Amino acid sequence: MDYLDATIDSMENSRFAALYGGLVRELTATTHFSQTDINCLLMVYYKFAKVNGPNAKQMTKVQFYELFLVLFKVSNVTTIDRTLFVVTKDVKYVSPKAWVQLFCLYTTEDLSVRMRFAFDIYDTKGTGLLDREQISLACDKFFVGEDEDEITELRADMGEFLIKKFDVDKDGFISYEDYSTVVSEQPCLLEFLGQLFPSPYDREILAHCINMDSFLTVESGRLN
Protein backbone atom coordinates (compact mmCIF):
# COMPACT_ATOMS: atom_id res chain seq x y z
CA MET A 1 0.00 0.00 0.00
CA ASP A 2 1.06 3.62 -0.48
CA TYR A 3 2.34 5.31 2.64
CA LEU A 4 0.05 8.05 3.88
CA ASP A 5 2.85 9.50 5.99
CA ALA A 6 6.55 8.84 5.47
CA THR A 7 7.37 9.65 9.11
CA ILE A 8 5.70 6.46 10.37
CA ASP A 9 6.38 2.86 9.37
CA SER A 10 4.21 0.53 7.31
CA MET A 11 2.56 -0.99 10.38
CA GLU A 12 1.53 2.44 11.66
CA ASN A 13 0.27 3.42 8.21
CA SER A 14 -1.81 0.24 8.11
CA ARG A 15 -3.15 0.89 11.61
CA PHE A 16 -4.12 4.43 10.65
CA ALA A 17 -5.91 3.20 7.52
CA ALA A 18 -7.78 0.57 9.53
CA LEU A 19 -8.82 3.05 12.22
CA TYR A 20 -9.88 5.92 10.00
CA GLY A 21 -10.57 4.49 6.54
CA GLY A 22 -14.34 4.52 7.00
CA LEU A 23 -14.33 7.95 8.60
CA VAL A 24 -12.19 9.36 5.78
CA ARG A 25 -14.78 8.22 3.24
CA GLU A 26 -17.65 9.60 5.33
CA LEU A 27 -16.06 13.00 5.89
CA THR A 28 -14.94 13.31 2.28
CA ALA A 29 -18.57 12.85 1.27
CA THR A 30 -20.04 15.21 3.87
CA THR A 31 -17.54 18.10 4.10
CA HIS A 32 -15.95 20.53 1.65
CA PHE A 33 -12.53 18.91 2.16
CA SER A 34 -10.86 16.58 -0.31
CA GLN A 35 -9.86 13.05 0.66
CA THR A 36 -6.25 14.19 0.88
CA ASP A 37 -7.25 17.02 3.23
CA ILE A 38 -9.16 14.61 5.47
CA ASN A 39 -6.26 12.16 5.53
CA CYS A 40 -3.84 14.93 6.50
CA LEU A 41 -6.12 16.28 9.22
CA LEU A 42 -6.70 12.85 10.70
CA MET A 43 -3.01 11.95 10.52
CA VAL A 44 -2.23 14.98 12.68
CA TYR A 45 -5.01 13.90 15.04
CA TYR A 46 -3.68 10.33 15.10
CA LYS A 47 -0.22 11.51 16.12
CA PHE A 48 -1.60 13.63 18.94
CA ALA A 49 -3.68 10.70 20.18
CA LYS A 50 -0.61 8.43 20.10
CA VAL A 51 1.14 10.68 22.61
CA ASN A 52 -1.47 9.60 25.17
CA GLY A 53 -0.35 5.96 25.04
CA PRO A 54 0.05 3.08 22.58
CA ASN A 55 -3.63 2.17 22.77
CA ALA A 56 -5.03 5.70 22.94
CA LYS A 57 -7.43 6.62 20.16
CA GLN A 58 -8.57 10.13 21.08
CA MET A 59 -7.10 13.57 21.63
CA THR A 60 -7.57 15.01 25.10
CA LYS A 61 -9.09 18.40 25.75
CA VAL A 62 -5.86 19.46 27.44
CA GLN A 63 -4.05 18.90 24.14
CA PHE A 64 -6.75 20.82 22.35
CA TYR A 65 -6.36 23.80 24.69
CA GLU A 66 -2.65 23.87 23.92
CA LEU A 67 -3.37 23.79 20.19
CA PHE A 68 -5.68 26.76 20.53
CA LEU A 69 -2.93 28.75 22.19
CA VAL A 70 -0.23 27.82 19.68
CA LEU A 71 -1.99 27.26 16.35
CA PHE A 72 -5.12 29.38 16.61
CA LYS A 73 -3.64 32.07 18.87
CA VAL A 74 -6.75 32.06 21.05
CA SER A 75 -6.03 32.55 24.74
CA ASN A 76 -9.48 33.44 26.06
CA VAL A 77 -10.56 30.45 28.15
CA THR A 78 -14.27 31.16 27.71
CA THR A 79 -13.89 31.24 23.93
CA ILE A 80 -12.00 27.94 23.94
CA ASP A 81 -14.58 26.33 26.25
CA ARG A 82 -17.49 27.49 24.12
CA THR A 83 -15.77 26.43 20.88
CA LEU A 84 -15.19 22.96 22.27
CA PHE A 85 -18.77 22.79 23.49
CA VAL A 86 -20.03 23.62 20.00
CA VAL A 87 -18.02 20.84 18.31
CA THR A 88 -18.23 18.22 21.08
CA LYS A 89 -20.15 17.65 24.29
CA ASP A 90 -17.53 15.19 25.60
CA VAL A 91 -15.95 16.52 28.80
CA LYS A 92 -12.59 14.74 28.41
CA TYR A 93 -11.84 14.01 24.78
CA VAL A 94 -12.12 15.48 21.31
CA SER A 95 -13.21 12.89 18.76
CA PRO A 96 -11.64 12.73 15.28
CA LYS A 97 -14.96 13.83 13.78
CA ALA A 98 -15.10 16.87 16.09
CA TRP A 99 -11.49 17.69 15.14
CA VAL A 100 -12.37 17.77 11.45
CA GLN A 101 -15.60 19.64 12.15
CA LEU A 102 -13.65 22.46 13.77
CA PHE A 103 -11.49 22.87 10.67
CA CYS A 104 -14.62 22.80 8.53
CA LEU A 105 -16.00 25.69 10.57
CA TYR A 106 -12.71 27.57 10.42
CA THR A 107 -12.37 27.25 6.66
CA THR A 108 -15.91 27.45 5.32
CA GLU A 109 -16.95 30.42 3.20
CA ASP A 110 -20.63 29.86 4.05
CA LEU A 111 -21.60 32.95 6.03
CA SER A 112 -24.69 31.30 7.51
CA VAL A 113 -22.55 28.50 8.98
CA ARG A 114 -20.02 30.99 10.32
CA MET A 115 -22.79 33.10 11.87
CA ARG A 116 -24.39 30.11 13.59
CA PHE A 117 -21.02 29.01 14.96
CA ALA A 118 -20.11 32.49 16.19
CA PHE A 119 -23.46 33.14 17.85
CA ASP A 120 -23.39 29.78 19.64
CA ILE A 121 -19.99 30.67 21.09
CA TYR A 122 -21.11 34.12 22.19
CA ASP A 123 -24.26 32.62 23.75
CA THR A 124 -22.47 31.60 26.95
CA LYS A 125 -25.74 30.92 28.79
CA GLY A 126 -27.10 28.68 26.06
CA THR A 127 -30.46 30.47 26.02
CA GLY A 128 -30.46 31.51 22.37
CA LEU A 129 -30.33 35.14 23.47
CA LEU A 130 -27.50 37.53 24.33
CA ASP A 131 -28.42 39.76 27.28
CA ARG A 132 -26.79 42.88 28.67
CA GLU A 133 -24.71 40.92 31.15
CA GLN A 134 -23.17 38.77 28.41
CA ILE A 135 -22.49 41.80 26.24
CA SER A 136 -20.93 43.66 29.18
CA LEU A 137 -18.64 40.75 30.07
CA ALA A 138 -17.55 40.41 26.44
CA CYS A 139 -16.71 44.13 26.32
CA ASP A 140 -14.34 43.80 29.28
CA LYS A 141 -11.50 42.66 27.02
CA PHE A 142 -11.84 45.59 24.64
CA PHE A 143 -10.60 48.23 27.07
CA VAL A 144 -7.62 48.24 29.43
CA GLY A 145 -5.92 51.05 31.31
CA GLU A 146 -5.06 52.51 34.67
CA ASP A 147 -8.12 54.75 35.02
CA GLU A 148 -10.69 52.20 36.16
CA ASP A 149 -13.57 54.68 36.16
CA GLU A 150 -12.88 55.68 32.58
CA ILE A 151 -12.50 52.05 31.50
CA THR A 152 -15.79 51.12 33.18
CA GLU A 153 -17.55 53.97 31.40
CA LEU A 154 -16.08 53.00 28.03
CA ARG A 155 -17.16 49.39 28.50
CA ALA A 156 -20.68 50.47 29.43
CA ASP A 157 -20.88 52.78 26.41
CA MET A 158 -19.67 50.02 24.10
CA GLY A 159 -22.22 47.61 25.53
CA GLU A 160 -25.06 50.06 24.97
CA PHE A 161 -23.87 50.76 21.44
CA LEU A 162 -23.79 47.05 20.58
CA ILE A 163 -27.24 46.45 22.04
CA LYS A 164 -28.67 49.29 19.97
CA LYS A 165 -26.85 48.07 16.86
CA PHE A 166 -27.87 44.42 17.07
CA ASP A 167 -31.19 44.41 18.92
CA VAL A 168 -33.24 44.69 15.75
CA ASP A 169 -36.63 43.94 17.32
CA LYS A 170 -35.90 46.17 20.36
CA ASP A 171 -36.82 43.59 23.00
CA GLY A 172 -33.68 44.17 25.07
CA PHE A 173 -31.92 41.02 23.84
CA ILE A 174 -29.89 40.00 20.81
CA SER A 175 -31.38 36.87 19.26
CA TYR A 176 -29.80 34.86 16.48
CA GLU A 177 -32.33 36.42 14.12
CA ASP A 178 -31.21 39.91 15.21
CA TYR A 179 -27.55 38.99 14.88
CA SER A 180 -27.86 37.28 11.50
CA THR A 181 -29.90 40.17 10.08
CA VAL A 182 -27.17 42.67 10.95
CA VAL A 183 -24.22 40.47 9.96
CA SER A 184 -25.81 39.45 6.65
CA GLU A 185 -25.83 43.14 5.73
CA GLN A 186 -22.42 43.85 7.31
CA PRO A 187 -20.30 40.65 7.36
CA CYS A 188 -17.41 42.54 8.96
CA LEU A 189 -19.45 42.44 12.20
CA LEU A 190 -19.41 38.63 12.34
CA GLU A 191 -17.00 38.63 15.32
CA PHE A 192 -18.47 41.67 17.06
CA LEU A 193 -17.78 40.29 20.56
CA GLY A 194 -14.21 39.17 19.92
CA GLN A 195 -12.14 37.12 17.51
CA LEU A 196 -13.26 33.53 16.96
CA PHE A 197 -11.77 32.57 13.59
CA PRO A 198 -8.11 32.42 12.55
CA SER A 199 -6.99 35.29 10.35
CA PRO A 200 -6.42 34.55 6.62
CA TYR A 201 -2.67 34.55 7.29
CA ASP A 202 -2.98 32.11 10.20
CA ARG A 203 -5.30 29.90 8.16
CA GLU A 204 -2.67 29.69 5.43
CA ILE A 205 -0.01 28.75 7.99
CA LEU A 206 -2.33 26.06 9.35
CA ALA A 207 -2.94 24.72 5.86
CA HIS A 208 0.81 24.53 5.22
CA CYS A 209 1.41 22.75 8.53
CA ILE A 210 -1.32 20.19 7.89
CA ASN A 211 -0.62 19.94 4.14
CA MET A 212 -4.17 20.76 3.08
CA ASP A 213 -3.46 21.24 -0.61
CA SER A 214 -6.94 22.15 -1.83
CA PHE A 215 -7.35 24.78 0.86
CA LEU A 216 -3.91 26.22 0.13
CA THR A 217 -4.90 26.78 -3.49
CA VAL A 218 -7.99 28.76 -2.49
CA GLU A 219 -6.29 30.68 0.31
CA SER A 220 -3.24 31.63 -1.77
CA GLY A 221 -5.51 33.02 -4.46
CA ARG A 222 -7.37 35.10 -1.90
CA LEU A 223 -4.20 36.53 -0.37
CA ASN A 224 -2.74 37.38 -3.76
pLDDT tens for 118-167 read 999 999 999 999 999 999 888 888 887 778 888 888 888 999 999 999 99
How far is the C-alpha of 194 from the C-alpha of 146, rounded, in Å?
A: 22
HEC string of 158-195? HHHHHHHHHCCCCCCCEEHHHHHHHHHHCHHHCCCCCC
- Which 3 state secondary structure label does DSSP give 141? helix
Global model pTM greater than 0.75:
yes
Domain limits of the chain? 111-189
Q: What angle do CA 199, 197, 214 make, to 5 degrees?
A: 70
How confident is the prediction for the chain on average, in pLDDT? 85
Q: Which residue has the higher pLDDT, 169 or 204?
A: 169
The model's pLDDT over 184-204, given as tens digits with 9 standing for 90+, comes to 999 999 999 998 888 777 777
The values of phi and psi at residue 129, to 5°, are -135, 145
CATH architecture entry for 111-189 = Orthogonal Bundle (1.10)
Return the pLDDT at 1. Answer: 45
